[in-house]
Structure 1
Amino acid sequence: MLFARAVTFVVAVVVLVGAHDYDVENKKCDLTGIVQWTGGSFEWPCAATKSMFHNNGRFISKNVLATRVAISKDDAILALPRYKSGVPVTLAKVSLKDKNCQASLSPFPCWSLQEEGVHTALQNVVDIYLDPQDILWVLDTGVVKSLEQPERKCPAKVVAINVKSGKVVKYVDLSGLTSSSSRLQYVVADYNPDGRVFIYVSDAAARAILVYDVTSGRGYRVVLPPAVTMSCDRRDVLYLALLRHNDGTTCLLFTYLGSSRLFTIRTDHLRSGNAHGKINDRGPKPKKMVILGTDNGSALFFRYEGEGEVYRWDCVTPFVPANFQPVYKSPRDECCLATHIVPDYKRGRMRVLESNFGDYMQGTVGCGATHALVPM
């Protein structure tokens, strides 16, 4: 079994982008290597297929939005949530070598895994996480058209895909850990020292983190204390981020968008099911923070809600504004905001997925949301 064998993963925390790599004062950015596209610019099997999807309403280009990304060598794998109707593919990839003004997306790993209503296919991918073993963990809520008339097609699940082969290696059914009111939003994966793999999923509605031992096939819910929702008008977005320390230990950072404070918990406490009294309050947030990702080490990237400036904070330092370093601002358009930041190991730097998703949410994107994958 893929996850039964011991996996040795020695974490050497290499900060791909250090403070010295940025020219913050002049907001300079390397404009080479930007990959851009608008709406749903897909590679179709043939013109007849595109016409069929378009004619029956299964393809509406302006309804396609990329929100999350994972970089694997020369490919960027994208989550395309089915927020609205007409999204033919909910998991896609784009080549980082694409030099065209309008890059083309293709389904990942194939068209057959995108079929709505098929329980073994992907229904609505809202988050993805690439682990150190090149396994892509895909969070599928099973509910499509969530911004229009939500329709549950299948139970919620996490699908593990080997990015090298494109083969599905695991299905994790989350229906036993969720309810009809659950709102699953983020997923991360982590390996135990003995090789067991665990996944953590945020359930914003339940104020909980779902913990699932993939190796043993067992899972449970960790209900977070009421303090986690302090100052929240509603349980909006429950962010998760996995941070690694120099000694190889990991902790899970979490916070609600509307919460006034940031929290972490060591993953060994989550894995043991003993989270009571183990949550660490890292301190107050200056403003509402949008968590964007990590460098797969101890650095967290974030921006403030509605603002374009991206900041970097190293979790080994106190969580105070003096330790928040501005590191990026979009070189393209002031309406473009970052939604995800991930390592691009082949090129030795971080990469930013950004779009004018605010216009998408308001229905004012015209032909479609403009996207870019920008080297930081």
Structure 2
Amino acid sequence: MQHFVNSFILFCWCIVICDGHLKNLAWNGGPLHLKCEFSPDLWMRGGYIKDNVIAVKAVPYKDDIYVITPRMKQGVMATLWLIIREKNSVELQPYPELRDHKLSDCNAIQNAVDFYLDHLGKLWILDTGIIDTLSNPQCTCPPKVVVVNLLLGKLIKRIDISSHMEANSLLQNIVVEYALGGNAFIYASDASRGAILVHEVSTGAGWSVVTCGPATGLQISLVKRVTHAVLILVRLHYPGIIELDTTTLRRKDSLTPMTVFGEHSKPVVLLGADNFHVYLRHTECSDVLVWNSRDAYNSSCLDNIHSAGPRMTTTSVAADPLKNVLIVLDSNYLDTLQGNSPTYHKISFINKNV
């Protein structure tokens, strides 16, 4: 039995197994796992730069874990990966295939900034079409939503959302809701306008709903209520959590009533949601908190379920319903953005006892 001794030793790769259950995964930058299919040098300007690969979100599906690594700097070969777990290492394999990430090919994924896994095993990927966002931003393709079927391991749909946007739009988060009858609706946040883009998949119709003032970040999560679903919104660096009834979002010309919780409390960062639970952290703290949204919001009475550790920041929390565990992604990406060292990533598996 191998024990994970120190969770912050850089340049250390490890997998910890305890009582037959996987407990932690850790890796630095982008350790590469390639099938013998293509040479990455043909598609990447400047080659593959492992140190520029920063994972920001992880999601489990069956026995696999998928992560996204936005193209913030040059040398990021792909932005959607399957984690390959070997005996004593972690590697990242471009998913579904390396060719699905070819730069300037508008059928391929250019820059995945967020994804959403639905109950059918479909991964909905928000692709901004803008690469090298921190070093030298370039628009290679129009923004779109790409759908990958994880059961088939194939890219099955591309949805152009450019008509819903403006020149300065800043797309950040995506969630998908199935209405009665099975029709899917895409909700994507546009921080530059404080708006939610709504796209009805079956008809191709789309519109924008302004929900708040512009901000550097606008995060969204989908939360269940007894009879319906609501969209939870957070403006980064602003106090308060906004709740929108999605049934009104789906009516193009209707007014959208909002409920605001904790408008005088600490600003928070959304990390994920599962049914009626919302996972978040206060902006000045790394502890992961959970809000049972069936109860009134009180920022001082949230349950603490995880601490990222020194110099680490939690960027996503996702539930694995089959194993009743939460997948928590921590990293020191802030250190990486300020320097040239590879990002240290850690995925923790914690019991879902809330």
User: TM-score scaled by structure 2?
Assistant: 0.88
Q: Do structure 1's residue 43 and structure 2's residue 33 form an aligned pair?
A: yes
Alignment correspondent of 1:66: 55
Q: 1:196 aligns with which of 180, 183, 188?
A: 183
Measure, in 2, the Cα distance between the counterparts of 1:54 and 1:156: 20
Change (3 A) 1:144 1:54: closer
| Rounded Cα–Cα distance in structure 1 between residues aligned with 2:331 and 2:114 | 16
| Partners of 1:157 and 1:263 in 2: CA distance | 26
Q: Is the 8 A contact 1:186 1:202 kept in 2?
A: yes
Contact 2:105 2:141 in 1 (8 A): yes
Q: 1: distance between equivalents of 2:128 and 2:29?
A: 22
Amino acid at match of 1:375: F
Instruction: Give the match for residue 142 of structure 1.
Output: 129
2-side partners of 1:243 and 1:340: how far apart? 16
| Residue 140 to residue 277, structure 1, CA distance change in 2 (3 Å) | closer
Instruction: Report what 2:325 is aligned to.
Output: 349
Asked if 1:93 corresponds to 2:82, the answer is yes
Q: 1:285 to 1:314 in 2, by over 3 A?
A: farther
- Relative to 1, partners in 2 of residues 1:58 and 1:363: Cα closer, same or farther, differing over 3 Å? same
SS at the partner of 2:196? Answer: strand
CA gap 1:55/1:222 in 2 versus in 1, 3 angstroms:
closer
1:53 to 1:290, Cα distance in 2 relative to 1, 3 A: farther
**Partners of 1:126 and 1:141 within 8 A in 2:** yes
> Which residue of the partner structure matches residue 114 of structure 2?
127
**1:302 aligns to what?**
280
Give the match for residue 307 of structure 2: 329
Map 1:230-249 onto structure 2 (within 5 A).
235-247=215-227, 249=228
Q: Provide the rounded CA distance (Å) in 1 between the counterparts of 2:296 and 2:221.
A: 17
- Cα 1:129–1:310, aligned 2, differ >3 Å: closer, same or farther? same
Answer yes or no: is 1:284 the counterpart of 2:258.
Answer: no
| Over 4 Å off, 4+ runs | 53-56
Whose strand fraction is larger, Structure 1's or Structure 2's? 2
Q: CA deviation at 1:319?
A: 1.1
Pairwise mapping of residues 146-157 of structure 1 onto structure 2 (< 5 A)?
146-157=133-144
Root mean square deviation, CA, Å: 2.1
Equivalent residue number for residue 347 of structure 2: 373
Task: Kindly report which structure 2 residues correspond to 1:190-269, keeping only aligned pairs within 5 A, or say none.
Answer: 190-224=177-211, 228-229=212-213, 235-247=215-227, 249-269=228-248
**3-state DSSP class of the match of 1:33?**
strand
CA displacement 1:38-76 (0-9 Å, x = unmatched) = 1010112459936x4799513111100010122111111
Output the TM-score relative to the length of structure 1. Answer: 0.83
What is the aligned partner in structure 2 of residue 360 from structure 1? Answer: 336
Percentage of matched positions with identical amino acids: 30
SS in 2 for 1:113: helix
**1:83 and 2:72 aligned:** yes
C-alpha separation between the residues in 1 aligned to 2:44 and 2:268?
41
Separation of aligned partners in 1, 2:114 and 2:32: 20
Distance 1:172 1:55 in 2: 25
Q: Which runs of 5+ in 1 are unaligned?
A: 1-29
* DSSP-derived class of the 1:104 partner: strand
Q: Determine which structure has the larger helix proportion and give its number.
A: 1
- Aligned-partner Cα distance in 1 for 2:252–2:216: 25
Instruction: Label 1:255 to 1:215 Cα distance change in 2 as closer, same or farther (>3 A).
Output: same
Q: Contact (CA 8 Å) 1:301, 1:341: kept in 2 or not?
A: yes
What pairs with 1:161-200 in structure 2 (closer than 5 Å)? 161-200=148-187
Q: How far off is 1:133 after superposition? A: 1.1
Cα distance, 1:369–1:53 mapped onto 2, change above 3 Å? farther
| 1:90 partner letter | T
Moved more, 267-276 or 349-358: 267-276
| Partner residue in 1 for 2:24 | 34
Structure 2 residues not aligned, in runs of 5+:
1-17
CA deviation after TM superposition for structure 1 residue 372, in Å: 1.5
More relative contact order, 1 or 2 (CA 8 Å, 6+ apart): 1
Deviation for aligned residue 1:152: 0.1
CA contact (8 A) 2:53 2:76 kept: yes
